[in-house]
């Protein structure tokens, strides 16, 4: 299974991704984590990315794509993966489709973790982590709404989107995530499915 999890900052994507990779037994591909590792290692990509990330902006598509392409080519990703934080823009989604198609692969399903904006702000204020600078956090929400939300339509048109309610206890939400995955599995097993 090749699955994408999409959600605004503070939606609880990290927790659900962790559970989902254990459940699916596939590698977890988090571009945010790859970028943070590049920053720690002081690579040229990390130095470029840091500027954008500190301002709550998305890093350039080309930089992220190069990283993801390399990672998708490693053998452990052949049978599937969970994409977390990628794609985040329409060009990234189109390039991902292209990349997979050339390797006779496809995205099996996309899960949207839906959480209203006022709840995201309430959680952020309650958490008050050092990296949750309210200004940067608001910019990340705006960047989600303007650059990432259009992807939901893109995948809905492909019939791949499952939107789930991101409110409630982590276990309860994971139950909904699992139902979405089962729906993807049934679809790929159906005649004409992939």
Closest approach of Cβ 185 to ligand AMP, in Å?
Answer: 26
Closest approach of Cβ 91 to ligand AMP, in Å?
Answer: 10
CA distance 25 to 79: 10
Stretch that binds ligand AMP, among 31-39, 107-115, 118-126, 185-193 (CB under 6 A): 31-39
Is 96 an interacting residue with respect to ligand AMP (CB under 6 A)?
Answer: no
The 3-state DSSP class for residue 52 equals: helix
Closest approach of Cβ 189 to ligand AMP, in Å?
Answer: 30
Contacts of ligand AMP in 67-86 (CB under 6 A): 85-86
Largest separation between any pair of C-alpha atoms in the chain: 50
- Residue 117 or residue 187: which is nearer to ligand AMP going by CB? 117
Of the candidates 39, 44, 38, 27, the one whose C-alpha atom is nearest the C-alpha of residue 78 is: 27
Q: Which of 39, 50, 52, 158 binds ligand AMP (CB under 6 A)?
A: 52
Long-range pairs for 132-135: beta carbons < 8 A, 24 or more residues apart: 135/56
Residues 6+ positions from 15 with CB-CB distance below 8 Å: 170
Stretch that binds ligand AMP, among 54-62, 122-130, 171-179, 181-189 (CB under 6 A): 54-62
Stretch that binds ligand AMP, among 21-29, 49-57, 104-112, 184-192 (CB under 6 A): 49-57
Is 10 an interacting residue with respect to ligand AMP (CB under 6 A)?
Answer: no
Sheet holding 161-165, edge to edge: 28-30, 81-84, 2-6, 109-114, 161-165
Residues 6+ positions from 77 with CB-CB distance below 8 Å: 26, 27, 29, 71
Is 12 an interacting residue with respect to ligand AMP (CB under 6 A)?
Answer: no
- Residue 147 or residue 187: which is nearer to ligand AMP going by CB? 147
CA distance 154 to 150: 7
Q: Which of 6, 81, 88, 112 binds ligand AMP (CB under 6 A)?
A: 88
Binding site for ligand AMP (CB under 6 A): 9, 31-32, 35, 52-53, 57-59, 64, 85-86, 88, 92, 140
């Amino acid at each position: 299974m090749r699955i994408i999890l999409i959600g605004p900052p503070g939606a609880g994507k990290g927790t659900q991704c962790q559970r989902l990779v254990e459940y699916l037994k596939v590698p977890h591909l988090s571009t945010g984590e790859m970028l943070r590792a590049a920053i720690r290692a002081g690579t040229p990509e990390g130095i470029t990315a840091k500027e954008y990330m500190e301002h709550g902006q998305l890093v350039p598509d080309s930089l992220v794509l190069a990283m993801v392409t390399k990672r998708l080519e490693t053998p452990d990703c052949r049978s599937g993966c969970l994409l977390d934080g990628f794609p985040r823009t329409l060009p990234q989604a189109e390039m991902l489709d292209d990349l997979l198609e050339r390797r006779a692969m496809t995205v099996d399903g996309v899960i949207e973790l839906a959480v209203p904006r006022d709840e995201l702000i309430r959680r952020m204020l309650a958490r008050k982590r050092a990296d949750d600078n309210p200004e940067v956090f608001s910019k990340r929400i705006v960047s989600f709404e303007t650059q990432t939300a259009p992807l939901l339509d893109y995948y809905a048109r492909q019939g791949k989107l499952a939107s789930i309610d991101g409110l409630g206890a982590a276990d309860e939400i994971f139950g909904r995530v699992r139902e979405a995955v089962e729906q993807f599995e049934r679809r790929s097993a159906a005649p004409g499915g992939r």
